[in-house]
Structure 1
Amino acid sequence: MPPFSRAGLAFMALFVLQAGPALAETAACKPFKWSLAREQGWFQAAPPALASGATLAKPEGAAELKLSPASDVAFPVSLDRKPATGTFGAFLAVPAIEKAGLYQVTLSEEGWIDVIQAGAKVKYSAATGQKSCPGLRKSVRFNLQSGPVSLQISGVKADTVKLALAPAE
């Protein structure tokens, strides 16, 4: 019989039970097309809360966005799709992007992301998503020019969503 004490076995069992959900979350999050470890860290660090119409503090980082019923949001640029009844949305201003390049917008929940620059929607260049990853749902990449940007979020079923904006790694 191995030299394990009952206390040692109990400790190992407790460790496995506590680590199980974390291991499951990691496994569920692996199918993304690119790493979202940075965004996941930002989301777990309790980002600042913002309401619709607010401005992000800087063009890189995260926020917990308080959404309004989609029917109450006056989006600056019309949406391509009508939000489903009972969903929520918001828009945010972003300080001017200094360096043109590939940026990604990541959401913690299911929703639509529109990026607006120079009064027009920017077509996305790539997207990745995973329905079974707790706290991370989708990330969409956009080629942005230097200058101001705004984000329109719609079709979210919850009244809050965590959002991150950052240059693609």
Structure 2
Amino acid sequence: MKRLVVSLFALLAGTSFAMAEDAGCEAFKWPVTREQALFAAPPATPSGAPLAVGAAADLGLVPVEKAGFTLPPERAPAQGTFGAVASVEVPPDGAIQISLSGEAWVDVIQDGHAIKSAGYSGVKTCPAIRKSVRFKLTPGPATVQFSGAKKAELKVAVLTPE
């Protein structure tokens, strides 16, 4: 009987934990279900590679001092952290949403200028996604800089906002 009670408790605790994880992702200001699906198996992508709108990448980061930032990051990265630079082709409507699996700062640069974000949502209780940032840009090429990451890999999704 004692084993049954312990097993039942373990089952219920696991169910509550799974529900809590889902509830954590619901706390974002906008849905992140597309990112959750894309983050399941994103392709490995080195720093410097282009990012596609509508896709995710498992971005390989380098020590920040070797990242080759176009402009200094808006928030100075701490020593011992990681970063990357990537390019993206902004779609005709000019809106993109960049979502990250972990802690990192995101700067978007277009025409030589850092562009301020148009919206931000971050949640620490969602297991696969840490933050999502929206930008309103001009259609065409842009540079995306990631800095201050504590790990050498970061899943990144670039989408059009819903």
TM-score, length-normalised on structure 2?
Answer: 0.88
Q: What residue number does 1:30 align with?
A: 26
Aligned length: 159
Q: What residue number does 1:51 align with?
A: 46
- 2:141 is equivalent to residue 145 of structure 1: no
Residue deviations 1:26-73, cap 9 Å, x none? 0122211111111111112x10111111112x3221101011111221
- Aligned to 1:86, which of 67, 80, 91? 80
In the alignment, the residues of structure 2 paired with residue 160 and residue 54 of structure 1 have an alpha-carbon distance, to the nearest angstrom, of: 14
In the alignment, the residues of structure 1 paired with residue 139 and residue 57 of structure 2 have an alpha-carbon distance, to the nearest angstrom, of: 21
- 2:126 is equivalent to residue 133 of structure 1: yes
TM-score, length-normalised on structure 1?
Answer: 0.84
Deviation for aligned residue 1:16:
4.2
Give aligned-pair identity as a percent: 43
Larger Rg: 1
Residue deviations 1:107-149, cap 9 Å, x none? 0101100111122111111100011221110011100211012
In the alignment, the residues of structure 2 paired with residue 98 and residue 127 of structure 1 have an alpha-carbon distance, to the nearest angstrom, of: 20
Residue deviations 1:64-110, cap 9 Å, x none? 1011111221101222232101111001112x323123221100101
- 2:14 is equivalent to residue 21 of structure 1: no
Ranges of 4+ aligned residues in structure 1 off by more than 4 Å: 11-18
**Can you give the 5+ residue segments of structure 2 that lack an aligned partner in the other structure?**
none
Q: Secondary structure at the match of 1:139?
A: strand
